[in-house]
Amino acid sequence: MEKLTPEDYLNGQILLIDKPLKWSSFQAVNKLKYALINKLGLPKKFKIGHAGTLDPLATGLLLVCTGKFTKRISELQGQAKEYTGTFFIGATTPSYDLETEVDETFSTAHIDDALIHETVKQFLGEIDQKPPIYSAIKKDGVRLYEHARAGETVAIAFRKTTIHEFEITRIALPEIDFRVVCSKGTYIRSLAYDFGKAMQSGSHLTALRRTKIGDYNVIDAQDVILFEEKLEIN
């Protein structure tokens, strides 16, 4: 890791972090923030933030901006993102992923490779997508997941999103592996749910990894713990 000074971080850096499984994006940023404060003597109020949330059950590329580069967060958030992951076909969950238990099962006897590849075509280009009820979007000032955990039913509006590329990389039913390149605001969990529904079945997301944001690649990303360990104490 290139040795950077406190001034470098204050003037602005984009840190490529490989977010661990079960960590929230907030936890990852906080870990970096306090490592920089404690080891490099940066002021406690120095600016740091990420350019696009990853769910705790997802891993992969998190862009973290420091200092003056926090002004670039909106620009970075608007770039196309690439994900890889796995759909489990034949069952749904309320959260559309493994955060909640299976609530309904469906037949998969009619699903073959041809149907899977044909269904992919329905999701290319601009699509209408409804965010999961278990998401951080606010409705009436309250985050949707808080409504969900309270057992409340709320109306969620569809949003326009764009799927630039959608490739099936492995079929081993009930699992399907995929690669998706999409616009800002796309929920891969919702894509999993809608994909199963489009095949007259059900589906939920069991693995997700963000591999790219614009030209930034997770191959070049650093582990959070190793980043902290490699920081030299001021």
115, two tokens: 């149907």
pLDDT for the residue numbered 156: 72
Residue 234 predicted with pLDDT over 60 = no
Residue 72 token pair:
């670039």
- Residue 148 — pLDDT band, cuts 50, 70, 90? low
Has 113 been annotated as catalytic?
Answer: no
Question: Is the predicted pLDDT of residue 88 greater than 70, yes or no?
Answer: yes
Residue 147 has pLDDT above 60, yes or no: no
pTM listed for this prediction = 0.91
Positive or negative, the Cα torsion across 112, 170, 199, 179?
negative
107-139 pLDDT, tens digit each: 999 999 999 999 999 999 999 998 887 666 666
Confidence of residue 144 (pLDDT cuts 50, 70, 90): low
Percent of the chain with pLDDT over 70: 88
* The amino acid at 34: Y
pLDDT digits (tens, 9 = 90+) for 29-48: 999 999 999 999 999 999 99
Q: Which of 55, 97, 103, 215 is catalytic?
A: 55
User: What CA–CA distance (Å, rounded) separates 184 from 190?
Assistant: 14
